[in-house]
């Protein structure tokens, strides 16, 4: 594993571990901000808990677990996807710069919004990173090409040996007759 991955994954995960712990410990701090977004998500995903506070805790728990796994390099692609899935509603709930009334508040929320969008980009890159190992798609294509090559080789071998074998068989038939 490259040094960049060893250092980069924990750095990317650190914000999620700390933010997730805060959401698990103190969900009341963000529940009012999260309510409108959680309500919309709950309409589409009915298995979510009824109380917004529980949804905030659940999201925080996912962030802690996925952040620790990403930081340790365990299931990094799945962990990055889980973090990305929690980051989108968190960003939409917590950094609605378009609703800020004063210019300073709008600027501050826009900075946090763009920071989260940047982290989302990093997570998507991490989710696509195969760690220098070929992806399953590449391995499948490569195996298909190998099978085609082997089939051509077998066909050529059969064709190359069939003519002389037929000639020898014909001579034996004439000699034995």
Residue at token pair 């728990």: 61
d(CA 95, CA 114): 9
- Other CB atoms within 10 A of residue 7 CB: 10
Name the percent of the chain in helix, strand, coil, to the closest 5.
Answer: 85, 0, 15
Residues contacting residue 113 through CB under 8 Å, at least 6 positions apart: 91, 95, 97
pLDDT string in tens for the chain (177-residue length): 688 888 999 999 999 999 999 999 999 999 998 998 998 898 888 898 989 999 999 999 999 999 999 999 999 999 999 999 999 999 988 888 998 889 998 999 999 999 999 999 999 999 988 876 777 777 888 889 999 999 999 998 888 888 888 888 888 888 876
pTM check: above 0.85: no
């Amino acid at each position: 594993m490259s040094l960049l991955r060893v250092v980069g994954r924990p750095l990317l995960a650190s914000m999620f571990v700390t933010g997730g712990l805060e959401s698990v410990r103190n969900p009341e701090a963000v529940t009012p901000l999260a309510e409108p977004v959680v309500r919309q998500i709950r309409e589409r995903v009915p298995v979510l808990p009824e109380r917004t506070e529980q949804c905030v805790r659940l999201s925080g728990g996912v962030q802690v677990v996925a952040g620790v796994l990403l930081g340790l390099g365990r299931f990094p692609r799945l962990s990055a996807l889980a973090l990305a899935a929690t980051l989108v509603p968190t960003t939409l709930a917590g950094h609605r710069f378009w609703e800020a009334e004063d210019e300073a508040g709008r600027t501050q929320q826009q900075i946090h919004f763009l920071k989260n969008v940047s982290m989302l980009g990093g997570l998507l890159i991490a989710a696509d990173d195969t760690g220098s190992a070929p992806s399953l798609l590449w391995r499948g294509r490569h195996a298909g090409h190998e099978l085609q090559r082997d089939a051509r080789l077998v066909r050529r071998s059969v064709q190359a040996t069939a003519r002389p074998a037929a000639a020898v068989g014909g001579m034996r038939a004439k000699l034995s007759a």
